[in-house]
Amino acid sequence: MVNTWSLGAAALGVDALVGDPRRWPHPVTLMGVAIGAYDRRVNRDSLGPGRLKICGMVLALGIPLMAGAATWALVWVAGRVWAPLEWMTAIWMISTTVAWKGLADAGLDVYHALSRGLPDARCAVGQIVGRDTAQLPETEVVRAAVETLAENIVDGIVAPMLYAVVGGAPLAMAYRAVNTLDSMVGYRNARYRNFGWASARLDDGMNFIPARLAAALLWVVMAVLGLAPRRAWRIMRRDARRHPSPNAGIPEAMMAGGLGVRLGGLNYYGGVPSRRAELGDATRALEAEDIVRAVRVVRWTGVMMGLVLLGLGAWRWLVR
Task: Tell me how far apart the alpha carbons of residues 174 and 177 are, in angstroms, rounded to a whole number.
Answer: 5
pLDDT at 162: 98
Q: What SS3 class is residue 194? A: coil
- The stretch 231-242 carries a mean pLDDT of 98
Give burial (CB, 10 Å; 0-12/13-18/19+) of 24: exposed
Contacts with 112 (C-beta within 8 Å, 6 or more apart), sequence order: none
If you average pLDDT over every residue of the chain, what do you get?
96
pLDDT at 2: 67
The 10s digit of each residue's pLDDT in 13-58 is: 999 999 988 788 899 999 999 999 999 999 999 999 999 999 999 9
pLDDT at 131: 94
Given a contact cutoff of 8 angstroms between Cβ atoms, the answer to whether 255 and 290 are in contact is no
Cα 80 from chain centroid?
33
The 10s digit of each residue's pLDDT in 243-271 is: 999 999 999 999 999 999 999 999 998 89
Vertex 252 angle, CA 288 and 301, to 5°: 85
Angle between helices 4-18 and 100-116 (to 10 degrees): 20
The 10s digit of each residue's pLDDT in 70-126 is: 999 999 999 999 999 999 999 999 999 999 999 999 999 999 999 999 999 999 999
Phi-psi sector, 24: left (phi>0), alpha (psi -120 to 50), beta: beta
Residue among 279, 301, 250, 240 nearest 143 (CA): 279
The 10s digit of each residue's pLDDT in 286-304 is: 999 999 999 999 999 999 9
The residue ranges of every structural domain in the chain are 4-319
- The stretch 308-318 carries a mean pLDDT of 89
Task: Tell me how far apart the alpha carbons of residues 44 and 97 are, in angstroms, rounded to a whole number.
Answer: 31
Helices within the chain (DSSP H only): 4-18, 27-42, 48-81, 83-95, 100-116, 118-126, 138-153, 159-185, 197-225, 229-239, 249-259, 289-319
pLDDT at 132: 97
Task: Tell me how far apart the alpha carbons of residues 291 and 111 are, in angstroms, rounded to a whole number.
Answer: 6
The amino acid present at 243, given as its one-letter code, is H
Check pLDDT > 90 for residue 184: yes
Check pLDDT > 70 for residue 1: no
Task: Tell me how far apart the alpha carbons of residues 180 and 43 are, in angstroms, rounded to a whole number.
Answer: 17
Task: Tell me how far apart the alpha carbons of residues 73 and 94 are, in angstroms, rounded to a whole number.
Answer: 14
pLDDT at 235: 98
- The stretch 192-217 carries a mean pLDDT of 98
Q: What SS3 class is residue 26? A: coil
pLDDT at 16: 96
pTM (2 d.p.):
0.96
| Total residue count of the chain as it appears in this document | 320
**CB under 8 Å, gap of 24 or more: what pairs does 75-80 form?**
75/168, 75/169, 75/170
Considering only residues 3 and 198, tell me which one the structure prediction assigns the higher pLDDT: 198
